[in-house]
């Protein structure tokens, strides 16, 4: 595709043409209408601008068409720049190759945290780690552990910055000093949910936040499945940690499979509703993921053991009985009993495990292991 004549950026660098910017603006303009048709959002996103307006705008077709005709690309660029966003469009050489495999290729990527950093992270082998917002300590610990391990090995961790599994995955990568990309269902310069301000700041410090939506677009429900297709396409592999039937995480996995990406799942307790999704994926042939090494085996091959280095101290033999009891799901009093420890020695051993980074304190006084 030829280079548009309305930009003065260096050839090969990030830029966004007026036509693609207009498309991005249109999604914001029609956001309320699209929400009414969110069950068909992936099909609607494949439509050309005029077809999309005719399909969803209803009585506002004329007004939307008039606004589209007077769209000011330079004003749009200026608003994004003032919010600290860099832009690249699907016409640009800098646009990620992985996203071009989508049927509905996002017209513009709005990037916070630096375009150069985003391009570097998006160009690596990567794993998308997704799952439930209200996940168990076990699922959160698994997401954090897998993300931490693959980040240590140099892979990029991708997720959606939602509470629960997404947050644990981003935190795991950041705790390892690795790279992570947050794909947001809103403008990327602000956190969503708002409770994630601290995490968002950490991500922008060493990673990147990206969205197909521009400044000031309010969050709508259709934006989450639209966001999920970007996560699925960017990830070399998608791993589901916890998901109920019909969840967004399973939609992400479905789209990843359709794109020919590798799929993995972390098995859970057989009686837990959140285990339904991972277990269905495993029945369908997904890779069983018990540790970061399982992801690296799929993406990097048998030589991954030479590159996967943990920064956590080796588990001391004296700590192992309590660690194993906690890993089996026992509450603290039962875990102390299983490990043959009285309360005093049990608390001291627990403190040693926590300081060494082998367990994490959870709400309610529970502890989860970090593998």
pLDDT value of position 241: 94
197 pLDDT exceeds 70? Answer: yes
CA distance 343 to 371: 24
Question: Which residues, 6+ apart, have CB-to-CB distance to 140 below 8 Å?
Answer: 164, 165, 168, 362, 368
Q: What is the pTM for the complete model shown?
A: 0.84
**Closest residue by Cα to residue 38 from 220, 217, 193:** 220
Cα four-point dihedral sign 32, 38, 42, 44:
negative
pLDDT in tens, 95-130: 999 999 999 999 999 999 999 999 999 999 999 999
pLDDT value of position 10: 37
202 pLDDT exceeds 80? Answer: yes
Judge: domain 317-369, CATH 3.40.50.410: no
357 pLDDT exceeds 90? Answer: no
Whether 317-369 and 116-306 are alike in CATH topology: the answer is: no
Helices (H), 209-275: 223-234, 248-258
Percentage of the chain modeled with pLDDT above 90: 69
CA distance 303 to 51: 50
Average pLDDT on 156-165 reads: 96
In angstroms, the Cα distances linking 266 to 19, 280, 325 are 42, 11, 20
Q: What angle do CA 285, 254, 32 make, to 5 degrees?
A: 165
Higher-scoring residue by pLDDT: 314, 173 = 173
pLDDT value of position 303: 56
Domain boundaries, the chain: 18-113, 116-306, 317-369
Percentage of the chain modeled with pLDDT above 70: 91
pLDDT value of position 352: 85
pLDDT value of position 371: 64
What average pLDDT does the structure give for the chain? 89
Residues 171, 161 contacting (CB under 8 angstroms): no
Judge: domain 116-306, CATH 3.40.50.450: yes
Q: What is the DSSP letter of 362?
A: -
6 pLDDT exceeds 60? Answer: no
pLDDT value of position 306: 43
In angstroms, the Cα distances linking 360 to 145, 167, 220, 290, 331 are 11, 15, 34, 18, 14
Average pLDDT on 208-229 reads: 94
**Closest residue by Cα to residue 145 from 167, 166, 173, 121:** 173
1 pLDDT exceeds 60? Answer: no
pLDDT in tens, 161-190: 999 999 999 999 999 999 999 999 999 998
pLDDT in tens, 78-88: 999 999 999 99
Sheet holding 208-211, edge to edge: 86-89, 108-112, 208-211, 180-183, 156-159, 126-130, 237-240, 262-265, 287-288
Which residues are registered as beta bridge partners of 364? Answer: none
pLDDT value of position 312: 60
């Amino acid at each position: 595709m030829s280079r548009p004549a309305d930009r003065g950026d260096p050839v090969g660098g990030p830029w966004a043409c007026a036509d693609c910017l207009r498309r991005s603006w249109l999604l914001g303009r029609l956001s309320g209408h699209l929400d009414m048709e969110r069950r068909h959002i992936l099909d609607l996103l494949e439509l050309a601008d005029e077809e999309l307006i005719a399909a969803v705008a209803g009585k506002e077709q004329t007004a939307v068409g008039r606004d589209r005709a007077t769209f000011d690309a330079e004003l749009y660029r200026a608003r994004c720049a003032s919010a600290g966003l860099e832009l690249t469009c699907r016409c640009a050489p800098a646009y990620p190759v992985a996203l071009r495999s989508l049927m509905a290729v996002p017209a513009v990527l709005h990037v916070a945290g630096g375009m150069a950093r985003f391009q570097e992270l998006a160009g690596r082998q990567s794993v998308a780690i997704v799952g439930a917002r209200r996940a168990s300590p076990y699922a959160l610990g698994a997401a954090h552990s897998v993300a931490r391990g693959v980040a240590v090995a140099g892979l990029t961790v991708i997720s959606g910055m939602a509470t629960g599994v997404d947050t644990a995955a981003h935190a795991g990568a950041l705790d390892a000093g690795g790279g992570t990309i947050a794909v947001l269902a809103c403008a990327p310069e602000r956190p969503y949910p708002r409770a994630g301000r601290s995490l968002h700041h950490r991500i922008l410090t060493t990673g990147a936040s990206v969205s197909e939506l521009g400044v000031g677009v309010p969050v709508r429900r259709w934006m989450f499945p639209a966001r999920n297709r970007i996560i699925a396409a960017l990830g070399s592999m998608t791993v589901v940690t916890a998901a109920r039937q019909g969840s967004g995480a399973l939609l992400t996995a479905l789209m990843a499979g359709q794109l020919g990406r590798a799929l993995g799942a972390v098995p859970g307790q057989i009686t837990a509703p959140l285990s339904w999704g991972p277990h269905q994926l495993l029945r369908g042939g997904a890779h069983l993921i018990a540790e970061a090494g399982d992801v690296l085996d799929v993406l990097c091959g048998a030589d991954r053991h030479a590159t996967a280095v943990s920064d956590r101290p080796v588990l001391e033999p004296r700590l192992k009985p309590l660690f194993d009891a906690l890993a089996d799901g026992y509450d603290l009093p039962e875990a102390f009993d299983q490990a043959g420890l009285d309360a005093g020695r049990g608390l001291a051993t627990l403190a040693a495990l926590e300081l060494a980074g082998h367990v994490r304190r959870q709400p309610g006084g529970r502890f989860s292991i970090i593998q």
